[in-house]
Chains A and B, each alone.
Chain A
Amino acid sequence: MSDSDPTTLRAAGLSKTYGRGSGAVEALRDVSLTLGAGRSLVLLGRSGSGKSTLLNLLGAMDTPSSGAIEVEGRDLAGLSPGEQTLFRRRRLGFVFQSFHLIPSLDVLHNAAVPWMLDGAFDAGARESLAGLLGRLGLAGKLDRYPDELSGGQRQRVAIARALARSPALVLADEPTGNLDKRTGEQILDVLDELRRERRFAMVLATHDDAAAARCDERLVLEDGAAIENSTLVRAAGAAVA
C-alpha cells in the first residue's frame, strides 16, 4: 500500500463520557487514528473496552464529548443531524454482528434501502445492485426474505446493503460473530476482495485473531484508551519521511 493514498478517515483526540458528575463513565479516552482509502483497520479489545463506542462515533451515530472526526476531509461535528443522516446514507456502510436486516423486505430490497430512501432506485441502480448480490453469491435469492436465509447469506445481504451506494468508509462490528468459522472466513474474503476493488476504507471490530491478521492496521483498546495504534506510527513515519 502506498503512503500517497488519500486519507479517508482521520480522528483526533476522541473522548466520550456517558452520564455526569460522580456517575460519569469515560467510555473512550483521547483516541486518534487515520486511515487511507482502500485500507483496513482492525479494532481489538475486550468487551466494554470502547470498541462499540468508537464505531458509533465514527459512524456519526453518536457525537464525541471531545475530539474531531473527518471523513473524506469533512468534519462530522460540523454536520447537522439531518446532514449526518444523509452522510450515513451516502458515504458510510455498516455491517453488524446480528445483520439488522428488515424482516419484511426481500433480499434485493433490503440491499436497496439506501437507494430507496433517496427515491433513486432506478434501473441502473437495480442492475449494479443485482450484480453486487451476484458477486456475493445471492444471484438466485433476490426474492427471498431474511428468515429464509442462512446466517452467512444474511450477512452477505447486509454487506450488499453497506456497499450499495459505494461508500468511502465501511464500519463492520463483529461481522463474523454469529457465523461459523468457515462462513466467517468466506465473508471476510468477500469483504477484502471488494475493498481492494472498490477502494473503501474499512474499520473492523472483532475478537477473531484470524480476522485481525488480515487487516492493514491495528488499534487495540483497553478501558477506552488506545494501547496500540499502528495507524499513528505509520502516520508519524510518513511525517518524518
Chain B
Amino acid sequence: MSGSGGSGSGLFGLARRLVLGDARRHPAAMLLTVFGIALGSAVVVGIDAAVAACLSGFERAVTDLAGESQHRVVARGGGLSDDDFIGLRLAEPELSLTPIIDRRALVDGVRVRFVGVDIFTYRSLESIENLGDQIEDGAYERWQTEPGTLLVVEPLAASLGVGAGDAVTVTGSLGDREAEIVATIGLAPPANASVTDLVVADIATAQELLGIPGTLDRIEARFESDAERAALVAALPETLELATTESAAARLEELIAAYRMNLLALSMMAAFVAVFIVYNASLVGVQRRRDSIAALRAVGASPGQIARVYLAEAAAVGLVGGAIGLLCGRVLAELMVGFIAGTINDLYGGVTPTSLALGWLAIGKGMSVAVGSALLGAAIPILAASRVPPVHAMSGTITAHRSRRWVSALGVAGVASLAVSLVVWLLTERSILAGYAIAATAWLGFALATPALVGLVARAAGVLGRGRLPLLLAASDLRRALGIGGIAASAMMLAMGMNIAIASTVGSFRGTVLDWLDSRYQADLYVAPEVAIDHGIPAALTAGARSAIESELASSGGDVLYYRNTQGEVFDAGSTRPVVLTVTDLEASESGGLIPLAAPLVGGGLEPGGQVYVSQPLARKIGVAPGDLVRMPSPTGVVEARVRGVFHDFVADRGAVLMDFALYRDRWADDRVDAAHVTFEAGTDLAAARASWAAGIGTEHELAIQDHAELRSETRRIFDRTFRITDVLLWLSGLVAIAGLAGALLALAVSRRQEFAVLSAVGAGAGDLAWRLAAEAVLLGAAAVLISIVAGTTLAEILAKVIQVRSFGWTINTSPQPLAWAAAAGFALVGSALAIVMPLRVLSRTRPAEALRHE
C-alpha cells in the first residue's frame, strides 16, 4: 500500500490518503456523510426527472387534445359563416387559416365530439395529419368527397360496436341523419388514451349532417411571425375578432402550479437536508481530527493548505455521494412518476408519462447539489479549524469561541428580516413575486433568529431547572455551545416548520373546501348519467330520465334543481381564457347554497338574461367586480353579461361562470342538463329514498345516484390524493430532525470529551451521562419544536392569505393543525431518543485518562 507509485506526492495525494484513511477508520461516519449527500442529490434529481416526464407527457396529451393553434378568429355578434372565412382567405392568401366545426353531437345516441375539418388546410392535429396512411385506398377519398362519411377513433368505434362500413345515426340540430363510418382511426399515443370520443368529418359533411350549412365554429390561424398576425388583424372586418388562447403549456403551468410548489419545496428541502447532514458530519469530523489538524499545523501546514486538503476531501466525498445519488434518483424517479402521473390523471385525465431520462442537465444538477452541499456543509467548520493558531490547536480546543456574539447578530438580522416581510405584506396586494418574497423573508427571519431563540429557551430552562442537575447542566451546555446546537435547532426548525406550514395549509385548504362543499351542495341526492360519473364522459340526462325524476318527485314531494356544466371561454384583454360554464336556475340557486363573496347587485331584479356570477379565482384573474361586464364567445356571437356577484369556488381553478338557463339556452342554443340536485321534503327517510331511487330510475335510466356523504367522501379522496406527495415531505422533515439532533449532540459530546472524562473520573457512570445527554436532546428538540410551530403557523398563514390568494385567487380559512404539531413533536422525541445513542457510544468508549491528558 505504501510502496511504489509516483502519484500523490503533494497536497492532493495527502487529501486522497486522508480520505481513504478516514473511511477506513470511521466507516460509519463516512457512510452517514455520503448518505446525506446522496439523499439530497437523489431527491433533487428524482423529482426533476419525474416531473419532467409527467409534464412532457401531459403537454403532449394537451397538444393532441386541444391542438397547437393558439389563435382563432371568432365573430363579434352572430355566428361565424363560410363567407367570413372565404373573405379572409382571399384577403390574406399567404396565411395559414383553416375553418373548423367543433361541437357535441349524438352518434347512435352517444354524445361525441364532432369535428369538421378542411383537411387541405388543417394541420393542428398531428395525430390526424397522417390519416391517409392509416386508411385504406379509396376510403380516404370517399371521406373527403362523399356526403355522410365519417372517421371515428377506435375507442369510440369499440364502445359503439361499429366498424368501417357500418351505418350510424347522427343527431344534429335538424334531427337524425344517416351516416357511414368509412374507417376507424388510431391516434398516436398518448392521445389514443385520452381522446376516446372523437368523430372527424369533412367540413362539408359536418355542416350537412349537423344541419348547419354555411356556419363555422371558428377559424384557426397559425402565424409564422408577428407580421403575419398583424396582417390578419388588419384584414379582419368589423364583425370578426382575433382571440389568442393561452398555449397548452401555459394552461398546464397554471393547472399544476400548486403541485409544482410542493415539489419545489421538496427538492429544496432535500438539498437542505444534504447540506445540514454534511455540516454536522464535518463538525464532528473536525472535532475528531483535532489531533491531525494540530499535528499538521505544528509540522508547518498553512491554514490554506489545511483548508484545501479537507475541502478536497469534502469534494471527493461529494462526488461519491453524488454518483450514488444519481442512481438512487433514477430509482426514485421511477417511483415518483407513478405517484405524480396518478395525481395529474385524477385531476385532469389522460397522462402517459414520457420515458424517463437523466439528461446531462439533470446529472449536472445532481452532481452540483452533491458537491455543493458537501463543500457548503464542510466549509464553515473547516475554515474555522484551519485558522486556529497552532498553539491552540496543540492544546486541543477547537470550538467556535465567539459563538455568543454571532448568535446575537444573527438574531438581530432575523428580526430585521421578519420586519421586512411584514412591511412587504402590508404594502403589496397583487404581486405574486412579492408574495414569495414575503414567505422567503419570513422564513429566513425565523431561521436566523432560531439560535438566539434557543439561547432564550435554554436560559428559561436553566431558571426552571434550578436544583435539578441534569436540566441545569443541559441548559448551560446548550447556551455555551449555541454555535453547534443553535444551528442544529435552526435546521430542525426549518424542516419541521416547513412540514407544519404545508400540513397546515393543506389541512386548512381541505377544511375550507369541505365546508364549502357542505354549504354549496345542500341537496339530498345528486343524479347524473352513470357514464359521466363512472367514466368521466360528458353526458346529458335524457328526456326520459328527466321526466322520471320529476314524476318520482311529484309523488314523494321535493324539489329538483338542474345543472349543466360545460366548457366555455371569457375574453380577457384581447385573448380568451377557458372557463367552466355552470348553468342552473340562478334564482333557486341564490336561495340555496350559492355563497356570494361580494354583495350581489341590488335592485333591478334578477335580469336572468344578462347577469352571471363569476368564481373568485376568475374575478381575480380577469379583474372584474359586481357591476362589471364579462364577454364570452358563444355560438351566436359574443355574449356580454353583467357580473351579479362573485362566488366561492374550488372546483375550477381556471375559473367558472355561473349563469341562468335562460341566457344559456338563448345564446348557446343548448337545452341539455347533465345533473339534477334533488331535495326532499323535510322528514323524508333519506337512506330509504336513496335506495329506492337507485333501484328504480337509477337502474332504468342508467343514472348514478349519490348522496351528500358520498359526494363529500369522493371530494376528500381526490383531495387527499392530490396532496399525498406532502407525506414525503413529512418523512423528509422527520429525517432532518433526527439527523439534526443526532449530529448536533454528537458534535457537542465530542467537543466536551474532556469534561465528560472529568465527570467520569470523579465517578459519574454511563447512566448519568445518558441522563445529561437526554436532557440536552429534549431541551434542544423542545426548543426547535416550539419555534417551528410558531414559524410554521406563520408560514401557513402567509401561504393561505398571500400566496394562494395571489396565485389562484381563492381564500382559505386557516385553522390550527395540532396534528401537524404533534407530528413535529413526535419526530423530535424519536430523534432525541435515537440521537443520544451515538454520542453515548463515543463517550463511553473514551478512556478518561486519554481524554484528561489533553487538559
Contact = CB atoms under 8 A, between A and B. Distances in A.
Chains A and B touch (C-beta atoms under 8 A apart): yes
Interface of A: 56, 59, 61-62, 82, 85-90, 92, 94, 96, 98, 100-109, 113-123, 142-143, 145, 147, 161-162
B687 interface: no
B294 A120 contact: no
B295 A101 contact: yes
B389 interface: yes
B305 interface: yes
Nearest to B293: A102
Nearest to B313: A104
Contacts of B19: 104
A100 B294 CA distance: 8
Interface of B: 1-3, 6, 8-11, 13-14, 17-22, 24-25, 289, 291-292, 294-302, 305, 389-391, 394, 853
B11 A117 contact: yes
Contacts of B25: 103-104, 145, 147
A108 B21 CA distance: 13
A104 B300 contact: no
B300 A85 contact: yes
Given A116-B10, A120-B9, A105 B17 contact: yes
Given A59-B298, A105-B21, A121 B2 contact: no
B27 to A, nearest CB: 12
Contacts of A105: 14, 17-18, 21
Contacts of B853: 98
Nearest to A109: B17
Nearest to B854: A98
Contacts of A122: 6, 9
Nearest to A142: B2
A116 B309 CA distance: 11
15 contacts: A56-B391, A61-B389, A85-B301, A96-B394, A98-B853, A100-B294, A100-B298, A104-B20, A106-B17, A116-B14, A119-B9, A121-B13, A142-B3, A143-B3, A145-B24
Given A104-B17, A121-B10, A145-B24, 19 more contacts: A56-B394, A86-B302, A101-B291, A101-B295, A102-B21, A102-B295, A104-B19, A104-B289, A105-B14, A105-B17, A106-B2, A107-B2, A109-B2, A114-B300, A116-B9, A117-B14, A119-B10, A143-B1, A162-B299
A143 B2 contact: yes
A104 B18 contact: yes
Interface centre among A96, A104, A107, A118 (most CB of B within 10 A): A104
A123 B8 CA distance: 11
Closest 7 pairs between A and B when the two form their complex, measured CB to CB: A89-B300, A104-B21, A119-B10, A100-B295, A88-B300, A143-B2, A121-B9
A162 B292 CA distance: 15
A86 B303 CA distance: 12
Nearest to A121: B9
B754 to A, nearest CB: 14
A109 B14 contact: yes
B295 A88 contact: no
A123 B301 CA distance: 22
A1 B750 CA distance: 50
A161 B389 CA distance: 21
A9 to B, nearest CB: 18
B2 A161 contact: no
Contacts of A108: 2
B13 A116 contact: yes
Given A61-B390, A98-B853, A106 B21 contact: yes
A91 to B, nearest CB: 9
Given A94-B299, A117-B301, A103 B21 contact: yes
B510 to A, nearest CB: 53
Contacts of B11: 116-117, 119
A106 B1 contact: yes
Contacts of A117: 11, 14, 296, 299-301, 305
Contacts of B301: 85, 89, 113, 117
A100 B291 contact: yes
A115 B294 CA distance: 17
A162 B300 CA distance: 11
A58 to B, nearest CB: 12
Contacts of A106: 1-2, 17, 21
Contacts of B305: 117
A102 B2 contact: no
B292 A102 contact: yes
B292 A104 contact: yes
A103 B11 CA distance: 17
Nearest to A114: B299
Nearest to B14: A116
A87 B18 contact: no
Nearest to B23: A104
B571 to A, nearest CB: 71
Contacts of B22: 104
Nearest to B12: A119
B14 A113 contact: yes
Contact of B298 (A61, A82, A116, A119): A61
A198 B294 CA distance: 27
Contacts of B6: 122-123
Contacts of B390: 61
Contacts of B292: 102-104
A104 B295 CA distance: 12
Contacts of A62: 389, 391
